[in-house]
Copies of this chain bind each other. A is one copy, B any other.
Amino acid sequence: MSPDAACWTPERFYREVRFLDNFSAGTRGAASAEYFLAAGYAVIFLSRQHSQFPYTRRYSHTTNPFFDILQEPESSDSIQEVRVQQHQVGTLLPVLRAYHQARQAGCLLPVPFVTVVEYLFLLRGISEAMQPLGRHAMHYLAAAVSDFFIPLDHMSEHKIQSGDGALHLTLEPVPKVLGSLAQEWAPASYVISFKLETDHELIVPKAEKSLERYGHQLVIGNELSTRKTEVTLVERMADGTYTTMPIRIPADSSREIEQDIITRLVDRHVRWIDATS
């Protein structure tokens, strides 16, 4: 089922005051984009407005404000220059170079969205534009998209008033586009979805069920509390069986788990291209 353009107007949507969101800051997507770029992929970074961004995420407003690493010129300086503190250059410079390189090479295209409806339309449009890439395309669906939403024709025109007691909401399931994506919008692409669970036991069975149902290539399963150190890749093989690949890093590792995930995914993608060409 594909979203219906006729019922959607941006003007209408931007009057929403409240919406259902999730805990995610988009760190996994932003980190993964960096490692895909390092591996030679071009990245269309479809991400929620104000979520984390590749490279610059390392200098967030609160935990490591970039204004803190800049030094003001001395009043005696003849030219007013602003420099990065010298002891910060070693950490900053490789990140800055990678960012500039990706942008100048035209390999990193940010596409922001706000609502789940925008996300779905953009995903379809981008997927269709990517079709000429054939099997060299990959979809890495790290956006924590809501499973539920309030359709436009159920919305209140004005802000819902408080003071009338409890608020009863009925949310409809978001159209499951993974099937449309894997079968229609991007039939040749290597499609990777995420499964986030709070119950570890559910990860592998639900990943296999999802692959069976939607016909895509790989699910990255993770549990909310351990998602930064442990994931489970479940891949659907050509013979219809499933291969499970756990990835784990030590809790005190200076390496990000996304580095290991992307190394593995690039390997799986290349094998899959070779096997089917």
Contact = CB atoms under 8 A, between A and B. Distances in A.
Nearest to A172: B166
A8 interface: no
Given A67-B56, A148-B162, A50 B25 contact: yes
A44 interface: no
Copies of this protein in the assembly total 2
Q: Which residue, A56, A114, A160, has most C-beta atoms of chain B within 10 A?
A: A56
A52 B96 CA distance: 22
A163 interface: yes
Given A82-B89, A159-B198, A168-B168, 5 more contacts: A83-B84, A158-B197, A158-B199, A166-B170, A168-B170
A147 interface: yes
A199 B156 CA distance: 12
A100 B17 contact: no
A183 interface: no
A214 interface: no
Given A56-B65, A66-B56, A147-B162, A196 B17 contact: yes
B53 A50 contact: no
B20 A20 contact: yes
Given A66-B66, A167-B148, A17 B198 contact: yes
A246 interface: no
Interface residues of A, number: 74
Contact of A110 (B62, B146, B147, B157): B62
Interface in A24-81: 25, 49-53, 55-57, 59-62, 65-68, 70, 72-73, 79-81
Contacts of A215: none
A16 interface: yes
A171 interface: yes
Closest 7 CB pairs of A and B: A21-B21, A147-B162, A53-B61, A82-B84, A167-B171, A169-B169, A158-B198
A149 to B, nearest CB: 10
Contacts of A106: none
Contact of A170 (B99, B157, B167, B173): B167
23 contacts: A14-B23, A15-B198, A17-B23, A18-B20, A19-B23, A25-B50, A49-B62, A50-B60, A55-B67, A56-B67, A66-B66, A67-B99, A68-B103, A82-B83, A147-B160, A158-B197, A159-B197, A162-B176, A163-B173, A165-B173, A168-B171, A169-B169, A169-B170
A174 to B, nearest CB: 8
Contacts of A2: none
A255 interface: no
